[in-house]
Homo-oligomer: A and B are copies of this chain.
Amino acid sequence: MKAKLPLLYAIALVFALILSSLTIAQAGDSLPSWNDGKAKQSIVAFVKKVTTVGSPDYVPPAERIATFDNDGTLWSEQPMYFQLFFALDRVKALTPQHPEWKEKEPFASLLKGDAKAALAGGLKAVLEIVMATHGGMTTTEFEKIVKIWIATARHPKTKRLYTEMVYQPMLELLAFLRANGFKTFIVSGGGIEFMRPWAEAVYGIPPEQIVGSSIKTKFEMRDNGPVLVRLPEMNFIDDKEGKPVGINSHIGRRPVAAFGNSDGDLQMLQWSTAGRGLRYGLLVHHTDAEREWAYDRKSHIGRLDKALDEAEEKGWTVVDMKRDWKVIYPSVK
């Protein structure tokens, strides 16, 4: 019996592999929320080429790296980045300890509910808010705060949980890529520790496959054991030129496919698609004012301008949200 086990195991495995490869032919069915247009066809065609053994475009499984922006690509980002709603709630909770915030920008505007004014200082203002509200505690404490918030806070317009504002077509795309041997990563300008506590349950992307902006942390030995303390000091900004840097630092391979929605993703798409062999770039264009939001070249959040021009030039796929997606969000029970 003992000698037979490895053989039986091998046979079963081969059987499973053959059947799993047969399912690639049914690829189209894996993207039921995508209308059958150019965008869907380009995805399916790309995946077929890079996974077909013997194809000139074949990519071995280990190199099938796909990177996804988060805000505006996997979930909504209007009227402001969802992490800013989290930060605003933290500012409110912490204001008793920081009376000076009532007079000091960008906190003063945030407390008045004027997100636009708070954001006038751009990414730096955002990061100032984030550092003041995300630092000064251990990584474990921060994780707990995020978990409680993400399970309870609701979007002011849709009244949905924020994790119910992820894009159903993109969830299907993530699963489709993984079913075809891809390793899916998030590469976001958002906080790495803000995404990790919930991204595995929501996107199927584990903490070690999340790249994002970060503040510095420091190891400390306390009486009840070691902790990592979050310092109010920027470590890395994973946006624009930072995205290829973050990809290189965390992944160490050039992605074969990259997915974004704004000029903040331009360098990630440039870097990914400049690699040798077949590559794939995709931009989500927010064109659906009715079911989501419509914005592009002039938006203060998620501006899509240069990248939209370059998409045409480079042959990247542009998803027209209104035309290409049957549904936007998952149905909520």
Contacts and interface: CB of A to CB of B under 8 A. Distances in A.
Interface of A: 5-6, 8-9, 12-13, 15-16, 19-20, 22-23, 62, 65, 139, 183, 192-193, 196, 200, 206-210, 214, 217-219, 221, 225-226, 228, 235, 241-242, 244-245, 248-253, 267, 270-271, 274
A208 B242 CA distance: 17
A17 to B, nearest CB: 9
A228 B244 contact: yes
Contacts of A9: 16, 19-20, 23
19 contacts: A6-B23, A9-B16, A9-B23, A12-B12, A12-B15, A12-B19, A193-B252, A206-B253, A208-B251, A217-B245, A217-B249, A219-B267, A225-B270, A225-B274, A226-B271, A226-B274, A228-B245, A228-B271, A235-B249
A274 B227 CA distance: 9
B192 A226 contact: no
A190 to B, nearest CB: 14
Given A16-B16, A196-B252, A217-B249, 10 more contacts: A5-B19, A8-B15, A12-B19, A65-B208, A139-B248, A207-B253, A208-B251, A214-B249, A218-B245, A226-B244
A200 B206 CA distance: 21
Majority secondary structure, A binding face: helix
Given A225-B274, A228-B248, A241 B219 contact: yes
Contact of A13 (B16, B241, B270): B16
Nearest to A199: B252
Contact of A208 (B15, B241, B250): B250
A184 to B, nearest CB: 12
Contact of A270 (B139, B221, B241): B221
A12 B25 CA distance: 19
Contact of A217 (B208, B209, B218, B248): B248
A16 B219 CA distance: 43
A59 to B, nearest CB: 14
Given A217-B245, A241-B219, A270 B226 contact: yes
Contact of A5 (B22, B62, B235): B22
A194 to B, nearest CB: 11
Contacts of A270: 221, 225-226
B245 A210 contact: no
Nearest to A15: B12
A244 B219 contact: yes
